[in-house]
Structure formats: C-alpha cells, structure tokens
C-alpha cells in the first residue's frame, strides 16, 4: 500500500506553517515534505518533526527569489556561484532534518540565454550538486514542471529531464516524477512510470485540472496507486496539491491509506 507525505507548503494552509506539522500528524500522515525550509530555524523544524512523529522525505534546493517569480536558477549561466552556495545550504538543512533527498528546480530560461548554454549550465550544476550531496549521504532529484503553470520553465517533460540526468554521468541523480505536471505536458502516466521506474527517485501527485486532491479531476489515482504497488515502489508519494476547499475536508481520498489505520487493520487480521 502506498505511503503518502503531506506537502506542508501546499496543504494545511489554513494554519501558519509551523502549525502544519501537528495538523498533518493529526490527519494521519507519518511523513511530510515542503518546498523550502530556509526561512526557519533548522533546530525548530527538527523539533517539530520529532514531536509529531514525522519523517521529512524531501525539500528543494534554494531556487532564487521565489517571491519575485523566480523558479530555480540551475540553468542560469550567470548564477553558478549562487547555485553552489545554495547546495551547501541545502546540505546543512537536509543533514539537520535527516532528509534523504533534495530536489533541483531548473528554472525559467533567462532572457538572452540560448537553450544550449542553459542546458550546459544545468548539467554542470547538477554534476556538482550530485557530488556534494552524495558525500553527505543525500540524493538529488530533477523535476520537470509544466509550462502552462510556469511559462518558460526549462525542463518540462520526462525524456528531456532523463537525458540531462544521463549527461551528468552521476549515479546520484534521479527523476522527480510529478504526476500532475506529467499529465499536463505528456499524459501516458502508467506507461511512463513502468518504463522509467528504475530512474524515478520520488513521486508527487495532484489531480488535473485544478491541481486539487485525488478524485477531483481526470486522473485515475486508484489505478496508479495499485500499479505502483505492483511495481514495488517503496518511497513516499508527495501530496503537492491545492485543496479544493479546506485540507481536512478534502482528505476522504486518503482515509484508506492512513498508516495508523493500516496498522489497526493488520493487527485485527492477525488476531482473527
């Protein structure tokens, strides 16, 4: 049965960020992820994870000025030093939070930069980050993002992302497969997951259209969950969606997969 991680950047936004850890645990999650931890004290974050019995499965590398609309700088030739500094900061946080993987957002193609120059910069930055992270025991991911939500995003489909990963020559980079982004850009979800399964390091979800919770759109999530089980996926699936109403009201899809409920069912089955 799949294991899910609440994305605390997108879910429980009715609450301040630091209050979302307890809310996720109360809702039945045993794992969380979020975009960026860097504005918070890492000791405080570690304490919240421990106090609520939560595991952190993922956060992103620093991605430039998010508030100003930047969505990553890894493909920006003029910001290599800033990217490398961000890698060190990510290692510091991921180590303190016992986070096994960090994700790289390639960014929007900068004005005046050719696609070839951006690709070369991205490959070199990924190669550097993968090596530094591997030394710290942390995996690196590269995520394709759809260009409807983020026009101009440089890596927007599975195959180009995998080609870039291969070009680094690193064994410490895998694909972050966001089902929502993939459905928008290319579809063919189950076949892609099956074909590229060994190169996928993390999976995220949201339904389409709307980027809301499973069951609100066109994606057959029960089928995909069963297929992931059949393939032997053992990682978490990050719930990176915008609740259609409130987070709690939209969690009916999650009820059959709650870890505590699974444990109770297993215990009842054993006792009978």
Active-site residue, selected from the candidate residues 33, 44, 82, 143:
143
**Spatial CB neighbours of 60, under 8 Å, sequence gap ≥ 6:** 35, 36, 90, 102, 103, 104, 105
Contact by Cβ (8 Å): 203, 177: yes
**How many angstroms separate the CA atoms of 67 and 38, rounded?**
14
Tokens 């609100």 correspond to what residue? 216
Residue 179, C-beta contacts closer than 8 angstroms, at least 6 positions apart: 189, 203, 204, 205, 206, 219, 224
Is 230 known to be catalytic?
A: no
- Give the active site residue among 88, 186, 194, 240: 240
Identify whether 143 is a catalytic site residue: yes
Site of tokens 């499965």? 57
Q: Residue 220: CA atoms inside 13 Å, Cβ hemisphere, count?
A: 9
Give which of 109, 94, 186, 181 is closest to 140, Cα–Cα: 94
Which residues form the catalytic set? 143, 240
């Amino acid at each position: 049965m799949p294991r899910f991680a609440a994305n605390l950047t997108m879910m429980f936004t009715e609450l301040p960020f630091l209050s979302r850890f307890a809310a996720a645990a109360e809702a039945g999650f045993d794992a969380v992820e979020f975009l960026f931890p860097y504005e918070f004290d890492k000791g405080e974050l570690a304490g919240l994870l421990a106090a609520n019995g939560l595991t952190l499965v993922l956060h992103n590398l620093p991605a430039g000025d998010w508030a100003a609309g930047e969505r990553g700088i890894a493909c920006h030739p003029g910001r290599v030093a800033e990217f490398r500094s961000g890698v060190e900061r990510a290692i510091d946080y991921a180590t303190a939070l016992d986070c096994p993987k960090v994700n790289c957002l390639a960014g929007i193609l900068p004005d005046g930069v050719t696609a070839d120059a951006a690709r070369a910069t991205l490959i070199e930055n990924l190669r550097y980050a993968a090596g530094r992270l591997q030394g710290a025991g942390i995996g690196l991911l590269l995520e394709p993002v759809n260009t409807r939500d983020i026009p101009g995003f440089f890596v927007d489909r599975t195959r180009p992302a995998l080609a870039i990963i291969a070009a680094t020559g690193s064994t410490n980079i895998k694909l972050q497969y966001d089902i929502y982004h993939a459905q928008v850009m290319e579809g063919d979800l189950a076949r892609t997951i099956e074909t590229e399964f060994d190169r996928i390091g993390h999976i995220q979800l949201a339904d389409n259209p709307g980027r809301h919770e499973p069951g609100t759109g066109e994606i057959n999530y029960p089928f995909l969950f069963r297929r992931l089980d059949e393939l032997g996926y053992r990682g978490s699936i990050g719930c990176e969606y915008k609740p259609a109403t409130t987070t709690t009201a939209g969690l009916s899809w999650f009820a059959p997969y709650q870890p505590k409920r699974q444990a109770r069912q297993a215990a009842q089955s054993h006792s009978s």
